[in-house]
DNA sequence: ATGAAAGCGCTAACAT
DNA sequence: ATGTTAGCGCTTTCAT
């Protein structure tokens, strides 16, 4: 900055003024300074600026895994909203490790980011509350127990489950399997509750008509896991005519497993996913699933975060609605 | 920091020493200071530290689209490598807009990040060279014309094309269609060159045995685009017996389009993708494709970037090899 | 072993 | 309209 000032024959503060309040600088002085900047190859120090100003344009997000399509789209929503006002996103993955979440939280707080958007690995949010209390806004995404002291966006997973239940009931299914891994997060439990409530509302006994299939997922052998799941479904008595999967990836694996064991889908078994990843529309049969408003989740989270800077901000809890997408993988039972 | 010093009954510099050189502080003083930090709820200012130190733990990446699985995995590789030394990633998307790339580059440089990893939108890299010259290391990913003045990682796309060609030839295909959008990047041109060289090596005339199918992609109607592509393939004379697609997503769409028009794949048409996204293994038929070393690309880029800080660093150009993955979507022509 | 002091690059109140 | 000046929170000599 000093160099620029020298080259332009003005003081450093005039250079500063050209940067932050160009209107108060005389037009030709401004031009001289701008030329000098270019000549010198001057790059303003965002770091020094922030030390002075307190304000940062960078927001952090801490989510499970940036390479998971669901979170990738979520992040994309955040990024798009931030970009509208020149903001940037630091996207970090935890791999569901609580220690990593804590570490990332700490680093981001020290970076003095504008705020942090977190899809928490655990329901315990004390650490998040502390960060928020110290002055770095925190927004929760898809967390089970929204706190009055934090903004939050969630998806109504119970509705998601209910929509699936109602759809299958309307097709005539009365025995349904619900395929999950072991030790599922709250969102899955809610979905299950929604599914059961739909069955109950139709006069069925959820304990008899909903079969819980908890399968330990072997990551090196997803296909093997899927085949076992399908076999287990077919062996059950009474045999389920529909299989509701914990997410689209699982559903795709299950459909493949079905074709491996010679099962016709949907004729012999209807399959339902969750998330609505893009390619599921292009499978054969195309997947019936529940669309999560992934991008909207990110947009809303960013909105809430940006609003924290406003005078008189009040924490809000927003709930978004998922949407049933009926395609070819479900049909009436044989 | 002053508060902590007061609470611990020491000077600010002792607090600073506890932070950056704990060993030179007397054990019990250190304990007193650490207690005070906790009591006060002290969070060191990463910003001030960087203004003093020059060093940042944050790396930026500028890629096409974080929600594209290919780039998501690339970023994941970068993030994983950085995490090993406490580094963080700011992941940004350009949507192939050059102005956005320029803007992001500028913001990241001002943030004084440790370095920037870029998958450039265009072959013109002057701006990148300038940033690098001014002191922010830049690493190129998958850029066509590696510069001697920048580190770079690329995938040997020509090899990728050749592998596909050799595979199809070995199955007995002699008329092959190559499906791309219009105005393809250099990487696709190289793949095409590899494909042609394989045909030539087998004694075929590439101009006759390779049919270029450039289809304008309508993003709102990917399926329509796919159907038109398949129809165009089938109408060509001589009729191609294999369709090589620009990427896995296109290949999946094409397979779906095939099933819509009653085409049996691979019996009547072999289909090949590119990238090896996870779910392609679970399609029916599973997709024959070329695996790009997505995560390795990220790991290597991060390695190169971190190495820039080393005394005596020399810019390097690393080329990674793709790998043919043969699955069910290709077979001998009827 | 600890503290005093200077300064990283910038901004904004105040003075000219 | 422009310049002077006093920090923002930290690190790092250099004294003590």
In sequence order, the 6+-apart residues with CB closer than 8 A to the CB of A20 are none
Helix, strand, coil fractions of chain A, as percent rounded to 5: 50, 15, 35
- pLDDT for residue B184 is more than 90: no
Question: Among residues B266, B294, B302, B299, which one has the least CA distance to residue B278?
Answer: B294
In which residue are the tokens 């699933």 written?
A289
- pLDDT for residue B101 is more than 80: yes
Q: Say if residues B209 and B234 touch (Cβ distance below 8 Å).
A: no
- In the predicted model, what is the mean pLDDT of chain B? 93
CA distance B274 to B330: 13
CA distance A295 to A275: 12
CB environment B98-114: b (16+ within 10 A), e (fewer): eebbebbbebbbbbbbb
Nucleic strand C within 7 A of Cβ A53? yes
pLDDT of residue B279: 87
| Cβ-Cβ contacts under 8 Å, B108 against chain A | 88
pLDDT of residue B320: 97
Is there a contact between B69 and A66 if contact means CB atoms under 8 Å apart?
A: no
What Å value separates CA A20 and C1' C9? 14
| Cβ-Cβ contacts under 8 Å, B65 against chain A | 76
DSSP string, A13-65: HHHHHHHH-GGGS-HHHHHHHHHHHHHHT----HHHHHHHH----EEEEEES-
- pLDDT for residue B166 is more than 90: yes
CA A160 to chain B, closest CA, distance in angstroms equals 23
* C-alpha dist (Å) from residue A140 to A132, A275, A305: 11, 19, 10
Averaged in consecutive runs of 10 residues, what is the pLDDT profile of chain A (334 residues)?
A: 91 91 90 92 91 87 88 93 90 86 89 92 89 94 88 97 98 97 89 98 97 89 92 95 96 94 96 94 93 97 95 94 98 95
Is there a contact between B107 and A86 if contact means CB atoms under 8 Å apart?
A: yes
| Cβ-Cβ contacts under 8 Å, A286 against chain B | 256
pLDDT of residue A99: 86
CA distance A196 to A207: 8
pLDDT of residue A265: 95
Give the other-Cβ count within 10 Å of A317's Cβ: 15
In sequence order, the 6+-apart residues with CB closer than 8 A to the CB of B160 are B191, B194, B274, B290, B292, B322
pLDDT mean over B160-179: 98
Nucleic strand C within 7 A of Cβ B51? yes
DSSP reduced 3-state for B30: helix
In sequence order, the 6+-apart residues with CB closer than 8 A to the CB of A79 are A88, A89, A91, A298, B66, B92, B93
Is there a contact between B92 and A89 if contact means CB atoms under 8 Å apart?
A: yes
pLDDT of residue B311: 86
pLDDT of residue B122: 82
State phi, psi for B114 to the nearest 5 degrees. -70, -25
Q: Does residue A314 have a cis peptide bond before it, meaning omega lies within 30 degrees of 0?
A: no
Find the largest Cα–Cα distance for chain A.
Answer: 88
Q: Which two tokens stand for residue B294?
A: 């997505």
Note the pLDDT tens digit of each residue in B266-293.
Answer: 999 999 999 999 889 988 899 999 999 9
What stretches of A238-329 show up as alpha helix (H) in DSSP? 248-260, 294-307
Residue A275 DSSP code: B
Question: Among residues A8, A67, A76, A68, which one has the least CA distance to residue A38?
Answer: A8
Question: Among residues A304, A299, A312, A270, which one has the least CA distance to residue A287?
Answer: A270
Chain A residue closest in CA terms to B278: A249
CA distance B1 to B13: 9
Nucleic strand D within 7 A of Cβ A45? no
Q: What percent of chain B is predicted at pLDDT more than 70?
A: 100
The confidence band for B255, taking pLDDT boundaries of 50, 70 and 90, is very high
What Å value separates CA B111 and C1' D16? 39
pLDDT mean over B288-312: 95
Q: Which two tokens stand for residue B65?
A: 């689209």
Note the pLDDT tens digit of each residue in B225-241.
Answer: 999 999 999 999 999 99
Note the pLDDT tens digit of each residue in B67-79.
Answer: 788 899 999 999 9
Nucleic strand C within 7 A of Cβ B27? no
- pLDDT for residue B183 is more than 90: no
| Cβ-Cβ contacts under 8 Å, A107 against chain B | 46, 57, 86, 88
Radius of gyration of chain A (CA): 26
Residue nearest to nucleotide D13 (CA to C1'): B13
Positions on chain D within 7 A of a protein C-beta: 1-5, 7-13
pLDDT mean over B24-38: 93
């Amino acid at each position: 900055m000093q160099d620029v000032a020298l080259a332009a024959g003005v003081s450093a503060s005039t250079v500063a003024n050209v940067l932050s309040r160009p209107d108060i600088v005389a037009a030709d002085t401004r031009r001289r300074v701008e030329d000098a900047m270019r000549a010198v190859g001057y790059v303003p120090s965002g770091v020094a600026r922030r030390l002075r100003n307190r304000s940062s344009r960078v927001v952090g997000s801490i989510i499970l895994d940036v390479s998971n399509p669901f979170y990738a789209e979520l992040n994309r929503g955040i990024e798009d909203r931030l970009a509208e006002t020149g903001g940037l996103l630091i996207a970090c993955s935890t791999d569901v490790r609580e220690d990593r979440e804590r570490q990332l939280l700490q680093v981001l707080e020290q970076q003095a980011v504008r705020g942090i958007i977190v899809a928490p690995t655990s329901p315990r949010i004390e650490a998040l509350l502390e960060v928020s209390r110290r002055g770095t806004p925190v927004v929760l995404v898809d967390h089970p127990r929204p706190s009055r002291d934090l903004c939050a966006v969630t998806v109504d997973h119970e509705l998601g489950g209910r929509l699936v239940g109602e759809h299958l009931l309307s097709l005539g299914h009365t025995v349904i399997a619900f395929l999950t891994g072991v030790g599922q997060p709250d969102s899955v439990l809610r979905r299950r509750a929604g599914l059961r409530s739909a069955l109950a509302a139709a006069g069925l006994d959820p304990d008899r008509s909903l079969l819980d299939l908890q399968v330990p997922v072997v990551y090196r052998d997803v296909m093997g896991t899927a085949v076992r799941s399908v076999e287990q479904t077919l062996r059950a008595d009474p045999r389920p005519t529909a299989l509701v999967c914990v997410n689209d990836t699982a559903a795709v694996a299950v459909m493949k497993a079905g074709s491996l064991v010679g099962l016709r889908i949907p004729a012999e078994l209807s399959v339902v996913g969750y998330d609505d990843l893009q390619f599921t529309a292009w499978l054969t049969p195309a997947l019936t699933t529940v669309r999560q408003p992934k991008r909207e989740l990110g947009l809303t989270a960013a909105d809430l975060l940006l609003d924290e800077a406003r005078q008189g901000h009040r924490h809000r809890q927003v709930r978004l609605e998922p949407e049933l997408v009926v395609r070819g993988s479900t049909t009436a039972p044989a």
